[in-house]
Structure 1
Amino acid sequence: MTKQREITGRQVFFFVSGAFAIVIGVNLTLAYNAVKTFPGLEVKNSYVASQQYDEVRAAQEALGWTVEPTYADGVLELAVTDADGAPVEVLNLRGILGRATHTRQDMTPEFTFANGVYSTPVELDRGNWNFRMQATAPDGTPFQQRVVIHVRKQK
């Protein structure tokens, strides 16, 4: 029978210190990557924005608009319809198209309105995309919405 070596206090210290070093290293790496990829603030002053939130939301909901995105063959289409399902032609449509997790691929596409649909040619990789849409109704009501676009593998 072989004699087992005794565990010393020094060995326990190095084992516990190594385990803590690994945990701390992983946490620092994750925190660094989270901060590095944070796209930024949505508004400059959240308190000021909150003072008008209910009023702006009620006006936007009164429009009754629905936005349905479609992406195929390198063309992004947005169907904006009113409460009756009729196409809506807005005064202006703009926004930022990009990933939810970083700003490296952000772009500002130019949409054209034809046949009741807004469309723009754009190449999107597979995955989730957000279009942070801003539009103005014919009566001047502002409309904002984050439109989620799921791009699946192209055929």
Structure 2
Amino acid sequence: MTEIKGWHVFAGFASAFGIIIAVNLTLAFNAVKTFPGLEVRNSYVASQAFDADRAAQLALGWEVSATVEDNVLRLVILEDGAPIAPVIEQATFGRATSVAQDQTPEFSFDGTALVAQVDAPDGNWNLRLRLRAWGADGTLFQQRIIVGTGS
């Protein structure tokens, strides 16, 4: 039987800590690489108008929902129970944790909903909307809708 010497102990410790450090660096790199980014540039400035913007958006009285079936995204916006088609400034359909599969749907109004073709494998998806109300005030409406697909 061989005797354990100092360099054996050092090699064991160095190997163990080397593995731990390599795993931590890999996880940190992948976390930063897949981070989708910031919601707003300056959260303090955005917070100053939050209450007023929220009140104006709620005053519209819109009921908004979205579903995906057979890769068709249906966005239903109801105002006083009737379907409407507001101005779409921005619409992004993608995963919550990554921008790799983000899509910009091309909506068309079919009389009851805004409809667009998307590539949506099973899972959880987000539809991030930025809409503008018709009319003189042009109230901004922003919302993120969670859309599940598959079973």
TM-score of the pair, normalised by structure 1: 0.83
CA distance in structure 2 between the partners assigned to 1:92 and 1:10 by the alignment: 67
State yes or no: 1:88 paired with 2:80: no
State yes or no: 1:150 paired with 2:141: no
State yes or no: 1:63 paired with 2:60: yes
Listed as ranges, the gaps of 5+ residues in structure 2 are: none
| Pairing of 1:97-116 with structure 2 (within 5 A) | 97-116=93-112
Secondary structure (helix, strand or coil) at the match of 1:147 reads strand
**Contact 1:90–1:136 (Cα < 8 Å) also in 2:** yes
Change in Cα spacing, 1:12 to 1:73, as seen in structure 2 (3 Å) is: same
Equivalent position to 1:51, from 48, 53, 66 = 48
Q: CA deviation at 1:134?
A: 0.8
CA distance in structure 1 between the partners assigned to 2:17 and 2:73 by the alignment: 49
**Contact 1:94–1:110 (Cα < 8 Å) also in 2:** no
Secondary structure (helix, strand or coil) at the match of 1:23 reads helix
CA distance in structure 2 between the partners assigned to 1:93 and 1:70 by the alignment: 20
* Number of corresponding residues: 149
Equivalent position to 2:22, from 21, 25, 30 = 25
Structure 1 counterpart of 2:102, which letter? D
State yes or no: 1:141 paired with 2:139: yes
Structure 1 counterpart of 2:69, which letter? A
Q: CA deviation at 1:28?
A: 0.4
TM-score of the pair, normalised by structure 2: 0.85
Equivalent position to 1:41, from 31, 38, 41 = 38
RMSD: 2.0
**Contact 1:70–1:149 (Cα < 8 Å) also in 2:** yes
Q: CA deviation at 1:93?
A: 5.5
Q: 1:21-73: per-residue Cα shift (whole Å, max 9, x none)?
A: 11111110011111111122222222221211111112112223232211112
CA distance in structure 1 between the partners assigned to 2:65 and 2:84 by the alignment: 12
- Identity, in percent, stands at 51
CA distance in structure 2 between the partners assigned to 1:51 and 1:36 by the alignment: 31
State yes or no: 1:124 paired with 2:120: yes
Q: CA deviation at 1:5?
A: 5.1
State yes or no: 1:73 paired with 2:34: no
